[in-house]
Amino acid sequence: MQRIGVFVCHCGTNIAATVDVAKVAEMALNEQGVVHAEDYQYMCSEAGQAKIQAAIKEKNLTGIVVCSCSPRMHETTFREAAERAGLNPYMVEIANIREHCSWIHKDVEEATKKAVILMRAAVAKVNLNAPLKPGESRVTKRALVIGGGIAGIQTALDIADAGYKVDIVEKTPSIGGRMSQLDKTFPTLDCSACILTPKMVEVNKHENVTIYTYSEVEKVSGFVGDFTVDIRKKARSVDMDKCTGCGVCQEKCPSKKTLSEFNRGLNTRSAIYTPFAQAIPNVPVIDRDSCMKFQTGKCGVCSKVCQAGAIDYEQQDEIITEKYGAIVVATGFDMIKLDNYDEYAYSQSPDVITSLELERVMNAAGPTKGHLERLSDGKAPKEMVFIQCVGSRCSDDRGKSYCSKICCMYTAKHAMLIRDKYPDVNVTVFYIDVRTPGKNFDEFYRRAVEDYGVNYIKGQVGKVIPQPDGKLLVRGVDLIDNKQILKEADMVVLAAAIEPNPDVRKIATMLTASIDTNNFLTEAHAKLRPVESPTAGIFLSGVCQGPKDIPETVSQAGAAAVKAIGLLAKDKLMTNPCTAHSDELMCNGCSQCANVCPYGAISYEVKEINDHGVRETRRVAVVNNALCQGCGACTVTCPSGAMDLQGFSNRQILAEVDAICR
């Protein structure tokens, strides 16, 4: 028989304003096993914890229920308090009467009723709790960074500098990511490549960093401290050790009709290619879908011209299996597809481009060698119109609900650069709001308006109509002057919303890391744990977690690295004792539990079983407690109920349900 204490927290007025806390404590005394109940203003405070500890000692409590906030907040606090008073920490249960009750209800009577029910369920569970003891698991002192953009590079560098091995897996043939596609960066206007390439070189040369480009994560198993990852190194068709990066193959390649991914499809590249001049590694890949040798069997020019003999048409994909203690996701973003925004004529006119395409147009290594010109006829534009929030801040499901955050600033940058280099070009920006929080951001924007004479119009554009003479008729509205605007433009630039890289869903599934409805990876806590995924050992770096600019990305990349380092620095981790175990007398050996186990923690043994005097050789499930993460998938799959979860047993859960339904 348990001796249970119930402690009801007011949380200031957070709970007490909506829930009659004294009543909850009073009702607790009617519950089975409850010998002590009290309420207090802040249970999590030193004084509150002292009350719990005093009651445990004075009344010889064997279990406690704290009716308070979410266990995500203070379960550890109360478990530790109980442990200091000599109670097993797993004899503590939290009834969440804040997030699950007071915060979401208004009526005091109803909320109190619900709080009592939640308390009852927790008491019913504690009645069946048993002391548990955590085990230990090892930490592999190596980190994996998925994505080789500025976020991944910075995270990898910081982890490597701390003395740990890091592997970067990058899907494309080179590291560098989106930042390598940018021309200049706000608000200082440094050349993007000039500040990025030293980092790329540094990470490439770092003795603790291994870079796998043209590679993808294929399979992830294991858990915090001990992940096993399969990396598919796609066949480059070029021997990385032999290639000298001379570039002759690319020059001589006769197949030059493939749209360049790096230049956003604005020009073409050869079938054997390095995406850009500063690519790391400076080793080309053969795009087998475009290569005549692979498609028709007739060509082989690159192989003939390669002095180093590096071309290898027979190369196969390679699977590299490696163990990691921590995984950082830095998969970045892409622009949204503009199919839903055809009123802006993106698909109808080559002179309507996205901002990222403009970056390539403005860049000396871009399709126009840095000259601002119309992509239709190569003429210099006189009138340019920028349209903001294309697909961002959208109230329906056509676009994204969120603000893409970087567009206001890069548009100010584009406008300023154009006005600076081509003073005869008029630049008009249609905007909803101009958002410039950030160091030196507003000053930057004001310079665009005040010093460079960029024409900002508050209002949206309804339609862009390509004219027979090649001009673009922009039909918009000026909300301040309250008038319709018809404007002829030579080029229109769309600030398209950014969205997480589409691959992130697959990666999140492999990592069992949660993602939100916009495919951004979810943080463990929006304010207090912003670079950690709720899945232990998974950290978030860069735009995969939410829109951000380069300085923010770099800061977050460093923060993610610190969290990873904090984990790698440990020799052992305490494991969750709430793991599954199988009752071998009931086990059918049917393998269903092993089939659903995401951690590969269940195996089978054929052994002699003594089932109440009947000796039989049976195939039974065995759980590896070091691998089990206590997710409970096996317990609900097991048809006979042989599989059960410590701390969340079927009996405990049914007791909770019964208590709620009582």
Partner 1 sequence: MQELIARAKELLADGTVARVLGWKAGDLPYNPEPAYFEKEEDFKDFVYNSFCGANLSKFMIEASKLEGKTLVCLKPCDTYSFNQLLSEHRVDRDKAYIVGVGCKGKLDIEKIKKQGIKGIKSISGAEISDEADTLTIDTIYGEKTCAFSDAMLERCHVCKGKEHKIYDEIIGESKETKDAERFAEVERIEAMSPEEKFAFFRKELSKCIRCNACRNVCPACSCRKCVFDSTKFDSSQKANVDSFEEKMFHIIRAFHVAGRCTDCGECSRVCPQGIPLHLFNRKFIKEIDELYGEYQAGETVVEKGPLTSYTFDDVEPGIVAERG
Nearest to 652 by CA among 79, 126, 236, 45: 126
553-to-206, 451, 514, 546 alpha-carbon distances in Å: 21, 29, 20, 10
Min dist CB 654 to partner 1, Å, is: 7
Helix segments in 127-247, DSSP class H? 150-161, 192-205
Cβ-based nearer residue to partner 1, 348 or 509: 509
Phi/psi of residue 351, nearest 5 degrees: -90, 0
Phi/psi of residue 596, nearest 5 degrees: -95, -10
Min dist CB 606 to partner 1, Å, is: 10
Contact call for residue 585 and partner 1 (CB under 8 A): yes
Cβ-based nearer residue to partner 1, 160 or 594: 594
Cβ-based nearer residue to partner 1, 3 or 618: 618
Cβ-based nearer residue to partner 1, 321 or 509: 509
Cβ-based nearer residue to partner 1, 461 or 587: 587
Cβ-based nearer residue to partner 1, 131 or 639: 639
| Omega prior to 281 cis, within 30 of 0 | yes
Min dist CB 651 to partner 1, Å, is: 7
Tell me the sheet residues that pair with 487. Answer: 474
Cβ-based nearer residue to partner 1, 6 or 510: 510
Cβ-based nearer residue to partner 1, 191 or 586: 586
Q: Is 297 exposed, middle or buried (0-12, 13-18, 19+ CB in 10 A)?
A: exposed
Cβ-based nearer residue to partner 1, 436 or 512: 512
E-assigned strand segments in 180-317:
184-185, 190-191, 209-212, 215-223, 226-233, 258-259, 268-269, 272-273, 285-286
55-to-5, 31, 59, 128 alpha-carbon distances in Å: 7, 17, 6, 20
Q: Which stretch binds partner 1 (CB under 8 A): 70-78, 201-209, 224-232, 584-592?
A: 584-592
Min dist CB 595 to partner 1, Å, is: 4
Cβ-based nearer residue to partner 1, 2 or 282: 2
Cβ-based nearer residue to partner 1, 271 or 504: 504
Choice from 587, 628, 653, 659 touching partner 1 (CB under 8 A): 587
Tell me the sheet residues that pair with 92. Answer: 64
Q: Which residues within the stretch 633-662 sit at the binding site for partner 1 (CB under 8 A)?
A: 637, 639-642, 650-651, 654
Min dist CB 6 to partner 1, Å, is: 24
Choice from 267, 376, 588, 624 touching partner 1 (CB under 8 A): 588
Min dist CB 171 to partner 1, Å, is: 16
| String of DSSP letters for 279-300 | -SS---EE-TTT-HHHHHS---
| Omega prior to 187 cis, within 30 of 0 | yes
Collect all residues with Cβ–Cβ distance below 8 Å to 392 and sequence separation of at least 6.
399, 400, 402, 403, 404, 407, 495, 497
Size of the chain, expressed as the number of residues it contains: 662
Cβ-based nearer residue to partner 1, 28 or 620: 620
Min dist CB 519 to partner 1, Å, is: 13
Residue 9 to residue 17: CA distance in whole angstroms: 12
Min dist CB 434 to partner 1, Å, is: 37
Residue 216 to residue 278: CA distance in whole angstroms: 22
Helix/strand/coil (H/E/C) assignment for every residue in 25-65: HHHHCCCCCEEEEEEECCCCCHHHHHHHHHHHHHCCCCEEE
Residue 540 to residue 523: CA distance in whole angstroms: 8
Q: Which residues within the stretch 591-630 sit at the binding site for partner 1 (CB under 8 A)?
A: 591-592, 595-596, 598, 604, 611, 616, 619
Min dist CB 125 to partner 1, Å, is: 15
Min dist CB 168 to partner 1, Å, is: 24
Pairing of β 614-623 and β 602-611: antiparallel
Residue 38 to residue 7: CA distance in whole angstroms: 5
Choice from 162, 586, 622, 626 touching partner 1 (CB under 8 A): 586
Cβ-based nearer residue to partner 1, 440 or 640: 640
The three-state secondary structure class of 656 is: helix
Q: Which stretch binds partner 1 (CB under 8 A): 3-11, 122-130, 478-486, 589-597?
A: 589-597
Assigned token pair, 37 = 């109940």
Min dist CB 589 to partner 1, Å, is: 5
Choice from 13, 45, 188, 509 touching partner 1 (CB under 8 A): 509
Count CB neighbours of 452 within 10 A. 16
Cβ-based nearer residue to partner 1, 239 or 583: 583
Cβ-based nearer residue to partner 1, 330 or 594: 594
Helix segments in 498-549, DSSP class H? 504-511
Q: Which stretch binds partner 1 (CB under 8 A): 89-97, 186-194, 218-226, 578-586?
A: 578-586
Q: Which stretch binds partner 1 (CB under 8 A): 44-52, 81-89, 347-355, 581-589?
A: 581-589
Min dist CB 253 to partner 1, Å, is: 35
Total site size for partner 1, rule CB under 8 A: 27
Phi/psi of residue 375, nearest 5 degrees: -75, -15
The three-state secondary structure class of 574 is: strand
Choice from 583, 600, 622, 625 touching partner 1 (CB under 8 A): 583
Contact call for residue 522 and partner 1 (CB under 8 A): no
Q: Which stretch binds partner 1 (CB under 8 A): 33-41, 131-139, 380-388, 502-510?
A: 502-510
Min dist CB 515 to partner 1, Å, is: 12
Residue 335, Cα to own-chain centre: how many angstroms?
Answer: 17
**What torsion, rounded to 10 degrees, do the Cα atoms 483, 488, 492, 495 define?**
-10
Q: Which stretch binds partner 1 (CB under 8 A): 280-288, 305-313, 326-334, 582-590?
A: 582-590
Q: Which stretch binds partner 1 (CB under 8 A): 84-92, 131-139, 429-437, 590-598?
A: 590-598
Nearest to 234 by CA among 319, 292, 145, 176: 319
Cβ-based nearer residue to partner 1, 92 or 623: 623
Min dist CB 365 to partner 1, Å, is: 37
CB contact at 8 A, 326 and 350: no
Min dist CB 300 to partner 1, Å, is: 37
Q: Which stretch binds partner 1 (CB under 8 A): 15-23, 468-476, 482-490, 504-512?
A: 504-512
Choice from 590, 622, 647, 648 touching partner 1 (CB under 8 A): 590
352-to-374, 419, 620, 653 alpha-carbon distances in Å: 9, 19, 65, 59
What residue ranges bind partner 1 (CB under 8 A)?
505-506, 509, 583, 585-592, 595-596, 598, 604, 611, 616, 619, 637, 639-642, 650-651, 654
